[in-house]
Amino acid sequence: MRYPFDRLVRADAVVVGSGIGGLTAALAMAPRRVLVITKGDPGGGSTPWAQGGIAAAVAAADSPADHAADTVAVGGGLNDPAAVEVLTADAPRRVAALEALGVRFDTGPDGKVLLGREGGHQHRRVLHSGGDATGAEMMRALVRAAAAAAHVETLPFAFAADLVRDGARVVGVTARTDDGEKVLALAPAVVLGTGGIGRLYANTTNPPEVTGDGLAMAARAAAALADLEFVQFHPTALASGRDPMALLTEALRGEGAVLVDDAGDRFMVGHHPDAELAPRDVVARAIWARLEAGRRVYLDATAAVGASFPERFPTVFALCREDGIDPRVEPVPVAPAAHYHMGGVATGLDGRASLPGLWAVGEVSCTGAHGANRLASNSLLEATVFGQRAGEAVRAAGAPPVEATAAFAAADPGPAPGDLSEVVAQVRRTMWHRVGVVRDGPGLTAAVERLGELEGRLPPAASEARNMVEAGRLIARAALARGESRGAHFRSDFPAPAPPGEEAAP
């Protein structure tokens, strides 16, 4: 039989993506043989950009129950209680596991771990590394562990194009490498760990490779998806003209930095009892309203952090200095930016998706733990908790290898696309203006239509641009269907939440 690919790889599992979710899952699968397919170098994606930290109830005054209560309060009542319980109860164990892997959390002079505070948390419970370089430190340890693991093989610089199905079962992935090789990877378990959708938006804190690939692949394979309308906009991205925008970690507000507008008004006071530490959606909309009214908004950390900025927040300090701003002595201009997707591939508590053979971990998944809005610093946590559970479940399942059948003759990743940057730019503008911080019915309808037109301009083979258009349309449709405001999803034509019991999208 002649197959339309250059290389066939067989493994016990294929993991697509090499962030914290994917690599945690891959490591937990030992001794099963795992192929990790990743678009760039292992360790790229959003994880190394994560600043704030990882939330866990490790303080004596704290408890997983308090952590769970905060997670649900921010999540707008849509959280899955079982997923929240797993997330918050496993958190201290996963922190210990990360330390055992070599992750160094910041400690004080007494050797005790330092805990930061962020919006929506009733306690200080955010562990961090290198001040504001938590994700980078985790990736350092995970990439090193994966490189040393005999059961993990990595295929870098390879774009995973599509899931391969045999009937209802997912049995593999097609991919194109940067040097043009077409690959078919067959395995009884395929784990998506491809991250979120930040690049779909003109303003985002996410790196350029975060293009909704796993979401679009899962949709094309007809896997169940959930909560797609819930996109989190981080309130404080550095408004200095960068693309992507630099994140100004919420931990700055946790240390007392305040938001002011160009009239000197500290507008979060009186707007919410927790002022700058209100849930992210509340702060993001308040900033948005000021900007729409023609004002400028600044994060002022001069009093709260001041001279200690370079030691306490070295990443943010360096980014500001690159743009000619000295946050020790001057307020920093800010604006909201797309940051995190609560929705994704619907999974159970062990990462299993609706199609046999398919799993999802990290931001591409929707475990239900976040509900309509994610609590700060619960993202690295969710990825490590559910990545570990998925890896263990794949290892325990121990399904037999996949044999090549005639169906795989159609498993062609297609040719690499040409330059689609103009379509990509239009997707990003459409999503920002129509499916952004504040939405309404006519704007969402226009977005669905516009994205449909853009899809018509794309070559049929899978590409980042195609994934962005398809994922964008799914998000816009879900936002149109939810005729209420809840969590991160705000509709100016339905500004209130639906009454209890009527929350589900029609």
Provide the minimum distance between the beta carbon of 147 and ligand SIN in the complex, in angstroms, as a whole number: 27
Provide the minimum distance between the beta carbon of 142 and ligand SIN in the complex, in angstroms, as a whole number: 18
- Closest by CA to 341, choosing from 192, 454, 445, is 192
Task: Select 78 or 299, whichever has its Cβ closest to ligand SIN.
Answer: 299
Task: Select 206 or 302, whichever has its Cβ closest to ligand SIN.
Answer: 206
The length of the chain is: 506
- Output the DSSP codes for 41-74: STT-SSGGG--S-EE---STT--HHHHHHHHHHH
SS3 348: coil
Distances (CA, A) of 168 to 222, 223, 474: 9, 10, 22
Give the side-chain half-sphere CA count within 13 A for 455: 16
Distances (CA, A) of 242 to 83, 95, 160, 431, 488: 36, 33, 28, 18, 24
Provide the minimum distance between the beta carbon of 283 and ligand SIN in the complex, in angstroms, as a whole number: 11
Determine phi and psi for 455, rounding to 5 degrees. -60, -40
Task: Select 25 or 284, whichever has its Cβ closest to ligand SIN.
Answer: 284
Specify whether the CB–CB gap between 223 and 356 falls below 8 A.
no
Provide the minimum distance between the beta carbon of 56 and ligand SIN in the complex, in angstroms, as a whole number: 13
Active site residue 280: yes
| Catalytic residue (one of 125, 280, 434, 477) | 280
Q: Tell me the residue number closest to ligand SIN, measured at CB.
A: 52
Cis, peptide link before residue 31, omega less than 30° from 0: yes
Provide the minimum distance between the beta carbon of 205 and ligand SIN in the complex, in angstroms, as a whole number: 8
List 173's β-bridge partners, or say none: 163, 185
Determine phi and psi for 204, rounding to 5 degrees. -150, 155
Task: Select 226 or 376, whichever has its Cβ closest to ligand SIN.
Answer: 376
Provide the minimum distance between the beta carbon of 236 and ligand SIN in the complex, in angstroms, as a whole number: 7
Specify whether the CB–CB gap between 17 and 44 falls below 8 A.
no
| Residues in touch with ligand SIN (CB under 6 A) | 50-52, 247, 249-251, 340, 376-377, 379
Task: Select 203 or 379, whichever has its Cβ closest to ligand SIN.
Answer: 379
- Within 8 A by CB and 6+ apart from 164, the residues are 170, 171, 172, 173, 174, 184, 186, 407, 408, 411
Provide the minimum distance between the beta carbon of 382 and ligand SIN in the complex, in angstroms, as a whole number: 10
Residue tagged 């996963």 (tokens)? 94
Dihedral, 275, 279, 284, 289 alpha carbons, nearest 10: -60
- Which active-site residues does the annotation give? 280
